[in-house]
């Protein structure tokens, strides 16, 4: 059990994929980084290595684009074990997965996408993952490598509503302080 009521978390979005360029809804498909995404991830690793914190742990979504980004970062700050948690997988976009945003709007004009993961289930899954960070990950400085919808959900959870509508850039980092009480709402 953690001895602290807060953790510093580096929220990292994975590097670029071809589907990002095509504006496809990636969801839980295992899309790899493209060449640009690989370069971005290495550059991010170099940047993170210059930050004032010693990162105690790296946690990643199990999807390849996030894992490859985590490994690139680890090459610069590691070696550390990369803890893989399914709770930080991208949202399941159901039958819209693989479609461009325009294709999804055309196919589902009412916005009702069959089999899409609802926001409440996504939030619950992410809160479970964040609680795991407090309960099972030692250290107070954790890098979390994940996906855009997961990041927006975390921002909503912690009350940074100004960031909910913004799309985090590929291979970006945003450092937050997360308090255990924020997960008990």
Model confidence band, residue 2 (pLDDT cutoffs 50, 70, 90): very low
Confidence of residue 185 (pLDDT cuts 50, 70, 90): low
Is 90 among the residues known to form the active site? yes
CA dihedral 144, 15, 40, 128 (to 10 degrees): 0
| pLDDT digit string, tens, across residues 147-159 | 999 999 999 999 9
Residue 3 in this model has a pLDDT that exceeds 60 = no
Q: Of 16, 90, 117, 149, which residue is the catalytic one?
A: 90
Give residue 73's pLDDT.
98
> Catalytic: which of 14, 16, 117, 149?
14
Residue 178 has pLDDT above 70, yes or no: yes
Residue 165 pLDDT class (50, 70, 90 cuts): confident
Given pLDDT bands bounded at 50, 70 and 90, which one contains residue 167? confident
Q: Comparing 35-39, 47-51, 159-163, 170-174, which segment has the lowest mean pLDDT?
A: 159-163
Question: In this predicted structure, what is the pLDDT of residue 1?
Answer: 43
What separation, in Å, do the N-terminal and C-terminal C-alpha atoms of the chain show? 20
At 31 the pLDDT is 97
State percent of the chain over pLDDT 70: 98
Mean pLDDT of 103-125: 97
* Domain extent listing, the chain: 6-183
Pick the CATH number of 6-183 from 3.40.50.2000, 3.40.50.300, 3.40.50.1240, 3.30.1370.60: 3.40.50.1240
141 catalytic residue (yes or no): no
Supply the mean pLDDT for the chain.
Answer: 95
pLDDT of residue 123 exceeding 60:
yes
DSSP the chain: --S-SEEEEEEEE---BHHHHTTB--TT--PPB-HHHHHHHHHHHHHHHTSSSPP-EEEE-SSHHHHHHHHHHHHHH---PEEE-GGGSPP--GGGTTSBHHHHHHH-TTS--TTPPPHHHHHHHHHHHHHHHHHH--SSEEEEEE-HHHHHHHHHHTT-HHHHTSPPPTT-EEEEEEEGGGG--
């Amino acid at each position: 059990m953690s001895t602290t009521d807060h953790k510093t978390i580096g929220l990292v979005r994975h590097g670029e994929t071809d589907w990002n360029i095509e504006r496809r809804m990636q969801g839980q498909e295992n899309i790899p980084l493209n060449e640009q995404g690989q370069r971005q991830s290495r550059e991010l690793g170099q940047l993170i290595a210059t930050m004032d914190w010693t990162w105690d742990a790296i946690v990643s979504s199990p999807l390849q684009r996030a894992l490859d980004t985590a490994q690139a970062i680890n090459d610069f700050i590691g070696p550390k074990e990369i803890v893989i948690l399914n709770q930080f997988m991208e949202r399941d976009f159901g039958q819209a997965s693989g479609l461009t945003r325009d294709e999804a709007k055309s196919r589902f004009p009412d916005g009702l996408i069959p089999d899409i993961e609802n926001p409440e289930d996504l939030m619950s899954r992410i809160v479970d993952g964040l609680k795991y960070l407090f309960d099972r990950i030692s250290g107070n400085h954790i890098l979390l490598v994940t996906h855009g919808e997961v990041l927006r959900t975390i921002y909503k959870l912690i009350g940074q509503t100004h960031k909910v509508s913004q799309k985090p850039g590929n291979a970006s980092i945003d450092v937050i302080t997360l308090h255990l009480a924020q997960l008990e709402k």
